[in-house]
Structure 1
Amino acid sequence: MTLPLRPPLTSSPAGRPPGRGGARLAVALLLAALLCLLAAAPAGAAPPQPTMGLAELRAALASGPLDGYFLTTMKGTTPERLSATVDSIVDYPWGSLILFHSDDPAVSAVGGIAAGMSGSPLYVDDDGTAKLVGAVSYGDWFTLQGLGLATPIDYMAAIEERYAPPVGLLAPPPAPKPGACRLARPVDTGAATVREVVLAPSAAAAAGIDAAPGTTVMAPLGIIEIGGLRPQGDAFRRLAARLEQATGMVVKAGGGGGLWDGPPAPDLEPGSPGAILFSLGKVWVGAAGTVTYVNGDRAMLFGHPFDWLGPVDAALTGGNVDGVWADAMTPYKLISPRDVKGAVVQDRYWGVLAELGREPDFYPMTTTVSLVDEGREVSDLTYVSGWFSAQPLFADLPAFIAAEVIVDAADAGAFPGSAESTATVRVSDASGEYTVVRENLHDGGWDVTWGPADDLARILLTLADDPDGVLDPHIDGIDLEVALTAARRSARIAAVELPAGLYWGDNPVRVTYYRYGSRDLESLDATLTIPAGTPLQGVLSVAPAAWGGGGCCSCCCEGEETGPPRTLAEVVESLNALPKDSDLLLTFSPGGAEGGGGEERSGDSCEEAEPGVTVTVPTGLVFRNAVSQATAELRLSLHPRRVPYGGLTLAEGCVAGSEDVGVTLYRQDAGSDALVQVGRAVAVADPLAGCATFSLPIAGLKRNATVVAMVDATATRLPGTATRPLTVSAWVRLAGDR
């Protein structure tokens, strides 16, 4: 999907990105900083302004601290010059950081170096010339005198040199490693003397370090803000937990809108607020911080990664600082995105590289919510990064977007009731274009709004799952339609019945249930087809189809993943075949005694196990339980099993249990599907035998046949069936017979 761009380096008006006017909520994942540049590398594609590399800076610091400043935006879009003093260089075996402090009143007023200042260019005065030495990157909780660490500009220039066309020859610095470093000489900050600096991998880790006097603990100046999602809502909690796990950052509620329809932000310059976004619309997701420098049609930001994703494709936007949240513990900027300026193409350890004027690959996502009880409709259009959707960790981002749109339309943090939804995902690869369509019914006694979003998440996570490395799906568009109502559409299963017994062929099955809000017993009928030769004793179960099932034993499933990798067409086909939440799954699982020889089917091996027989039954309700019932266990024997033409056999049987029960006997002649009743008996409980026994003679046998015994249902058992083959000797007329 093409997003119209504003001219990246001009302030003239231009066509704005497509979208709707009015207020817009946002999910702003405001990463102010993560990690810094931690090892030396010679400058390559240098920033256009004068710079001072590490070696030159080290020599200059030999005479003492250097006065300077850094550029950052405290309000609106205009960078400000805040005074700073570069104190020393913190050397590690694998690299160096720049230790500085700022006693500027603006810094003191908010509680210290704030998250969101990461990327702010740091300058020192060199005989009247301001030279760029690095970008703000690390800070400490409760730090006095505005103490912080900066990423050397050498490393950021190396990123541009290495990854921006044409490819340069510089090797990237080694990956940063948390640890402690004792300073070559102590640094007096005015409030304390720092002798050692400890780098922690995250703010949470830093909080757990008990620092000795003279030691300061520095952590990435990282903050994630989620704007537009209510902090008490389920969507906020889920997304916050995901982000905390992925980044180790503290997550806070924020504000702002992601599909800007106002005037364009000024051209990006050193100190400007900016954001990298993976979605644009009601919900926007990405990282916001500060521009370090602009070099022609390229810009370097942050001095740290978003999430160290490597090559990326995201939108680069201008930003507006709504204010700075003053906090003695963790002050942070509130940055809202503005118009699209280009595309972010690299997310590396030491910074983010963007190409100005380049169009990112985004696809449209439309969410339409109908409030049935109110007779109104809400619709939203958001654009989502196709690259981001292909990443397994973040593939379900559109589900969070959909959840917020649904909750916002309902205007309730929890909406009990039911929802009908249709999720349509258009996807393509080199082989063609495909469409996933998922229609479903959801019901919830507490909240039903997440049901449609979960459907969408399942589709997208499945498309992004590529364990064999052969899929290359591209999401072309998403449409989600949801109809919400307070009416409940759930039910509880009471029982499953076999009104006509159980035999090969079509068997009527009845499921009785109680609908939500009613004491009346209702029923639905289905047909279960049992293939000829299937054992007729076992367990009949009914359960919501979405729970899974199908009677597959462990050994039957062995080798399931040994086939060739699935194509995108096959993945789409499997998604379109998923059962609905309102479907029921009827399953008959054969097992137990059968016949008259006393054999037991153990099912201990794949050769012996019988596959289950299943059928999916569409309904208009969401059932919340499952019911299983075993058939009666019956042993049947014939004496004799081979009879003369017109002869007689004695059918004897034993029905498990301690109560009398009726048994009906049938004959099915060879070559016929008809069952002919030949008698009825009562199996009488026999305490000595441990079962109910019966015997019944069957006379007038003239053809080979199968004798079928069907046991009546009891209070605890479904009807059970046993069969035995019977051979009838041919009638032979001898010569001379009259």
Structure 2
Amino acid sequence: MRKFGIKILLLGLFILLLSNVVVAKTEIMPLEEIKPGMQGVGKTVLQGTKIEEFAVEIVSILENQNMDQDLILVKTSGDVIERTGGIASGMSGSPVYVKGKLIGAIGYGWQMANHKIGMVTPIEEMLNIFELEKEKDEEEIMLDTPIEISGKIYNKVKFSTAQEEVKEAHTLVAQPVTTPLLVNGLTGRSKDRLADKLSDFDVKPVKSGGLATDIEEVPLKPGSAVAVQLVRGDINVSAIGTLTYRDGNKLLGFGHPFLSKGNANYLLSSAYIHQMITSIKMPFKIGSPAGLKGVITQDRAAGVAGRVGKFPNVVPVEIEVVDKNLERSQVYNLQIIHDEELLPQLSSVALLQAIDTTIDRQGAGTAQLDLEIMSNDLPEQELKRSNLYYSSNDIAANSLGDFIQVLSLLTNNPFKEVNFANIKIKVEVSKKPRLALLEEVNLNTKEVKAGDKIEAEIKFRPYRKELITKNVTVEVPEEVEEGPLELYVLSGQNANLEQLTSSQNGDSNFQTNNIQDLEELIKIYKEQKQNNQLVVQLKEAFSPGARQAQTTAKAAGETEDKSKENEEETEEPENYNNNLVEEVLNTDYALQGAVRKQIKVKTRDKEPEDKARKNKKATSNEHKKTGNSSDDKK
């Protein structure tokens, strides 16, 4: 019995290996063997996970004519096509077979025309993705032999990814059988914001269901519905298409690009199709991603390529939103693909949706945001940032600032790639307006000497409340020269805006030309002030250039008025930082505004020892004079 069991096990292993060989040996038909009039079948999923077949007839071969890719013009028919209304979005990648051999995948359809006509991307072009070859970049081709469709003659094919209309006669407008970008958990302005941020990729989000986790999983094979995911979890952003070809764990799909990213890092999942939606422009599938299966590593002109069982680099994101007025808290857990271009956009949209959903309103309020980013590539393996925000009309959108800035700073830094291990965000929102306006500053003196201390009384008014007073002591530096100083009191937000204004690098808000590494860049970022901080700066009231003009004028014997004239005419350098002292105080309010007060530095008296010697010498001389006078009298 034991030997019999071993034989059964070996037989099972042999059958398994044989099945893999069969998959690996999928027969293909070269393009040169394909002729007009040939009949074939295509495979796709219209409902659930069941693969169905539709009829395909070869109409023409659009051979390489000043473009990098051949295409096969086909006409589809049968019950499946009648139910869909033609080739539909989501059918991209549907494999097409002639005489049992794979010729390629549905890749393109016609805009506002006969949806039963489409174009197949040859499988040979798709197989080149594994070698990262060939990308189509031409927009139109002339046909050597005109073709007739529905009684009309066409001699040109124009390729378009946008929803543009071409009124040229005898021109067919072909566009990719788009993989609709299905979103779940994003609504309203969050979905619109995502559409705006992805507009350069020519994809439009469509609302769909969430993860289909309760379905019976089926093996991925040619014709199966697959989802390419950008975000997975409580919010899902994915594109539904069809698997074209599988060789062991390697696979191909779509028959056209998704985002044209080249080297890619997308989540690959199986998919469940809920419904087919007919449309004049192009029918489309509504589906949901299901079980996570692998990774998409290539996003090329002829399609996407990936591997089953190997998973992409993703960033776990946890968002907790607390509404203090409704007394409720919600936590959102997401996996977002690690893509330096897309991560800030996708995560900021998710954060906005999380806040909008939890507080269930738009309008005024105060938000406390605490951010923690974990990464082994960061100097201390983590980066934390807290800030207080107030908005009179949209607190959710207003509180995104720091989060977007720090992610953009890290993903765009010129020094090294940052692989994020985890991102945690906590936002506490309240209708209470924790806002205050700086009103005045009073000083205990109008004149100081180097080394003296200035007592400043700072007053700010919270919204519809009594004034609050803060007392600050600022010490005048010993090396300060005679002349006017300015005590400048401003909010942390204003201080950051002044730093941004003086910056020459608007993308990252920092001048990186003199920064040596990521550690220094992060150090400068951490020096940014918080909106609830009160910043007190002791500054030179005019620039060193004006001071030099004053000194030169005095040396030349010019009048004081002339010196002042030179002082006024000398402008301060654009990026000159004339801060002598800076003190920062925390408050419970998001502050706004700035106030100034001038103070004069006068020359400090000489040291006491010098004064004593001078007085002693003067006394001695007086004594001598007195003594001589007495002798003369005698």
Q: Deviations over 1:658-696 (max 9, x none)?
A: xxxxxxxx8843237xxxxxxxxxxxxxxxxxxxxxxxx
Contact 2:482–2:603, Cα closer than 8 Å, also in 1: no
Measure, in 2, the Cα distance between the counterparts of 1:210 and 1:546. Answer: 53
Q: Deviations over 1:21-56 (max 9, x none)?
A: xxxxxxxxxxxxxxxxxxxxxxxx996432212111
Measure, in 2, the Cα distance between the counterparts of 1:607 and 1:309. Answer: 40
TM-superposed CA distance for 1:556, in Å, is 11
TM-superposed CA distance for 1:252, in Å, is 3.5
| Structure 1 residue corresponding to 2:332, chosen from 380, 388, 409 | 380
CA 1:229–1:528 in 2, change beyond 3 Å: closer, same or farther?
A: farther
CA 1:56–1:237 in 2, change beyond 3 Å: closer, same or farther?
A: same
1:612 and 2:569 correspond: no
TM-superposed CA distance for 1:261, in Å, is 3.8
Q: Secondary structure at the match of 2:358?
A: helix
Measure, in 2, the Cα distance between the counterparts of 1:70 and 1:542. Answer: 72
CA 1:342–1:228 in 2, change beyond 3 Å: closer, same or farther?
A: closer
Look up the match of 1:56.
33
TM-superposed CA distance for 1:381, in Å, is 1.9
| Structure 2 residue corresponding to 1:222, chosen from 178, 202, 206 | 178
1:526 and 2:472 correspond: yes
TM-superposed CA distance for 1:336, in Å, is 0.9
| Structure 1 residue corresponding to 2:202, chosen from 218, 242, 248 | 248
What is the 5 A alignment of 1:407-556? 407-412=356-361, 414-429=362-377, 434-467=381-414, 470-501=415-446, 503=448, 504=450, 505-518=452-465, 520-532=466-478, 533-534=480-481, 536-537=483-484, 539-548=486-495
1:565 and 2:506 correspond: no
Look up the match of 1:731.
618
Look up the match of 2:7.
none
Q: Secondary structure at the match of 2:114?
A: coil
Measure, in 2, the Cα distance between the counterparts of 1:211 and 1:458. Answer: 46
CA 1:535–1:407 in 2, change beyond 3 Å: closer, same or farther?
A: farther
Q: Deviations over 1:538-564 (max 9, x none)?
A: 554433323445977999999964545
What is the 5 A alignment of 1:331-410? 331-385=283-337, 387-388=338-339, 391-410=340-359
Contact 2:95–2:244, Cα closer than 8 Å, also in 1: yes
Measure, in 1, the Cα distance between the counterparts of 2:528 and 2:575. Answer: 30
TM-superposed CA distance for 1:423, in Å, is 0.8
Q: Secondary structure at the match of 1:461?
A: helix
What is the 5 A alignment of 1:116-131? 116-124=90-98, 129-131=99-101
CA 1:350–1:70 in 2, change beyond 3 Å: closer, same or farther?
A: same
Scaled by the length of structure 1, the TM-score of the pair is 0.71
1:211 and 2:168 correspond: yes
Measure, in 2, the Cα distance between the counterparts of 1:134 and 1:182. Answer: 22
Measure, in 2, the Cα distance between the counterparts of 1:728 and 1:192. Answer: 115
Q: Which amino acid letter does the alignment assign opposite residue 56 of structure 1?
A: E
TM-superposed CA distance for 1:320, in Å, is 0.9
1:280 and 2:229 correspond: no
| Structure 2 residue corresponding to 1:257, chosen from 202, 207, 210 | 210
Q: Which runs of 5+ in 1 are unaligned?
A: 1-44, 164-171, 637-665, 673-701, 705-726
CA 1:71–1:603 in 2, change beyond 3 Å: closer, same or farther?
A: farther
1:79 and 2:83 correspond: no
Q: Which runs of 5+ in 2 are unaligned?
A: 1-21, 628-634
TM-superposed CA distance for 1:444, in Å, is 1.6
Scaled by the length of structure 2, the TM-score of the pair is 0.81
Measure, in 2, the Cα distance between the counterparts of 1:363 and 1:551. Answer: 33
Measure, in 2, the Cα distance between the counterparts of 1:230 and 1:360. Answer: 23
Q: Deviations over 1:288-324 (max 9, x none)?
A: 2111111111111112233222333332100011212
Measure, in 2, the Cα distance between the counterparts of 1:476 and 1:365. Answer: 9
Contact 2:121–2:255, Cα closer than 8 Å, also in 1: yes
Q: Secondary structure at the match of 1:305?
A: coil
CA 1:554–1:152 in 2, change beyond 3 Å: closer, same or farther?
A: closer
Measure, in 1, the Cα distance between the counterparts of 2:117 and 2:363. Answer: 48
Measure, in 1, the Cα distance between the counterparts of 2:522 and 2:511. Answer: 19
1:150 and 2:120 correspond: yes
Contact 2:492–2:591, Cα closer than 8 Å, also in 1: no
TM-superposed CA distance for 1:177, in Å, is 2.3
Contact 1:140–1:216, Cα closer than 8 Å, also in 2: yes
Contact 2:438–2:460, Cα closer than 8 Å, also in 1: yes
TM-superposed CA distance for 1:103, in Å, is 3.7
Look up the match of 1:662.
none
Measure, in 2, the Cα distance between the counterparts of 1:471 and 1:347. Answer: 24
Measure, in 1, the Cα distance between the counterparts of 2:611 and 2:407. Answer: 61
Q: Which moved more, 1:291-300 or 1:136-145?
A: 136-145
Q: Which amino acid letter does the alignment assign opposite residue 66 of structure 2?
A: P
Q: Deviations over 1:688-724 (max 9, x none)?
A: xxxxxxxxxxxxxx949xxxxxxxxxxxxxxxxxxxx
Contact 1:73–1:271, Cα closer than 8 Å, also in 2: yes
Q: Which moved more, 1:548-557 or 1:183-192?
A: 548-557
Look up the match of 2:4.
none
CA 1:415–1:76 in 2, change beyond 3 Å: closer, same or farther?
A: farther
TM-superposed CA distance for 1:87, in Å, is 0.6
TM-superposed CA distance for 1:508, in Å, is 2.8
Look up the match of 2:530.
580
TM-superposed CA distance for 1:71, in Å, is 1.1
Measure, in 1, the Cα distance between the counterparts of 2:222 and 2:464. Answer: 64
CA 1:535–1:610 in 2, change beyond 3 Å: closer, same or farther?
A: farther
Measure, in 1, the Cα distance between the counterparts of 2:295 and 2:256. Answer: 17
Q: Percent identity?
A: 21
Measure, in 2, the Cα distance between the counterparts of 1:349 and 1:534. Answer: 68
| Structure 2 residue corresponding to 1:631, chosen from 577, 598, 605 | 598
TM-superposed CA distance for 1:203, in Å, is 1.8
CA 1:552–1:82 in 2, change beyond 3 Å: closer, same or farther?
A: closer
Q: Which amino acid letter does the alignment assign opposite residue 416 of structure 1?
A: A
Contact 1:534–1:590, Cα closer than 8 Å, also in 2: no
Contact 1:369–1:409, Cα closer than 8 Å, also in 2: yes
What is the 5 A alignment of 1:171-186? 172-173=133-134, 175-186=135-146
TM-superposed CA distance for 1:730, in Å, is 5.8
Contact 2:434–2:589, Cα closer than 8 Å, also in 1: yes
1:99 and 2:52 correspond: no
CA 1:330–1:490 in 2, change beyond 3 Å: closer, same or farther?
A: farther
Q: Secondary structure at the match of 2:350?
A: helix
Q: Secondary structure at the match of 1:318?
A: strand
Q: Which amino acid letter does the alignment assign opposite residue 348 of structure 2?
A: A
1:68 and 2:40 correspond: yes
Contact 2:28–2:101, Cα closer than 8 Å, also in 1: yes
TM-superposed CA distance for 1:130, in Å, is 2.5
CA 1:225–1:344 in 2, change beyond 3 Å: closer, same or farther?
A: closer
Q: Secondary structure at the match of 1:457?
A: helix
CA RMSD of aligned residues (A): 3.5
Look up the match of 1:189.
149
Contact 1:368–1:380, Cα closer than 8 Å, also in 2: yes
Q: Which amino acid letter does the alignment assign opposite residue 470 of structure 2?
A: L
Contact 1:265–1:319, Cα closer than 8 Å, also in 2: no
Contact 2:179–2:240, Cα closer than 8 Å, also in 1: no
TM-superposed CA distance for 1:578, in Å, is 2.9
Measure, in 1, the Cα distance between the counterparts of 2:410 and 2:534. Answer: 26
Measure, in 2, the Cα distance between the counterparts of 1:90 and 1:309. Answer: 26
TM-superposed CA distance for 1:510, in Å, is 3.2
Measure, in 2, the Cα distance between the counterparts of 1:122 and 1:550. Answer: 59
CA 1:191–1:728 in 2, change beyond 3 Å: closer, same or farther?
A: farther
Q: Secondary structure at the match of 2:516?
A: coil
